[in-house]
């Protein structure tokens, strides 16, 4: 059924990771037309907009989702990633404080990093603390760490943690070719080899 409102969001993401961006957008937009108030549909569409580099639209839609469902991780990710690409660091820093403020080690890393070198250092300090906890109960994934190190501009750590994400069969590894955060490693042969092994296209 080409108008299956429940199936279209997932199908749009399949098209997205396979490098068929225009088709992904069309399917996601159709899902929004059919079921515009569905939180899952909205959050999935916010992600498609982010990967399509339509950051302002992704931010607006993700904010709508989070207003209705504050703990929606898909929308929060789309919002934070889009804020970073728009260099809206003040708002992103506020979100990082809300996210990690109750963890003393992460809160200290955030504040000291910001005081010493600004937002880029914040992302590096946070990633370093989280990387040290990798593999423990409640730790973040390798893909999440690769994303954080990408914000910090650390190419070597991006490659390292994407490799770990591949090893742990992280579902999100399929998004590496489309994710704007990883533009900084597109020319790296190690990244190109990883994309080949995953089976996805790197966005031009």
pLDDT digits (tens, 9 = 90+) for 62-94: 999 999 999 999 999 999 999 999 999 999 999
Let me know: does 57 contact 28? Beta carbons within 8 Å: no
Q: What integer best gives the mean pLDDT of the chain?
A: 95
Distance of CA 17 to the CA centre of its chain: 13
pLDDT tens track for 36-64: 999 999 999 999 999 999 999 999 999 99
pTM for the whole thing? 0.93
Sign of CA dihedral 53, 59, 65, 66: positive
Q: Which of 44, 65, 8, 19 is nearest to 179 (CA)?
A: 19
Q: Which of 61, 55, 72, 60 is nearest to 31 (CA)?
A: 61
Q: Which residues contact 95 (CB under 8 A, 6 or more apart)?
A: 76, 79, 80, 83
pLDDT tens track for 126-180: 999 999 999 999 899 999 999 999 999 999 999 999 999 999 999 999 999 999 9
């Amino acid at each position: 059924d080409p108008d299956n409102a429940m199936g279209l969001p997932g199908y749009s993401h399949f098209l997205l990771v396979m490098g068929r961006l225009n088709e992904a957008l069309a399917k996601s937009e159709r899902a929004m037309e059919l079921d515009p108030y569905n939180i899952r549909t909205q959050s999935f569409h916010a992600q498609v907009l982010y990967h399509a580099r339509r950051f302002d639209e992704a931010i607006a839609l993700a904010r709508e989702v989070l207003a209705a469902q504050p703990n929606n991780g898909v929308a929060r990710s789309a919002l934070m990633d889009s804020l970073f690409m728009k260099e809206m660091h003040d708002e992103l820093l506020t979100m990082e404080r809300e996210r990690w403020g109750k963890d003393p080690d992460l809160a200290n890393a955030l504040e000291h990093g910001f005081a010493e070198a600004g937002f880029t250092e914040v992302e590096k300090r946070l990633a370093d603390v989280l990387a040290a906890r990798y593999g423990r109960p409640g730790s973040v994934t390798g893909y999440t760490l690769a994303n954080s190190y990408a914000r910090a501009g650390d190419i070597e750590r991006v490659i390292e943690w994407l490799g770990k994400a591949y090893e742990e069969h992280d579902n999100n590894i399929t998004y590496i070719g489309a994710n704007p955060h990883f533009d900084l490693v597109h020319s790296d042969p190690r990244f190109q080899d990883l994309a080949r092994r995953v089976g996805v296209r790197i966005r031009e």
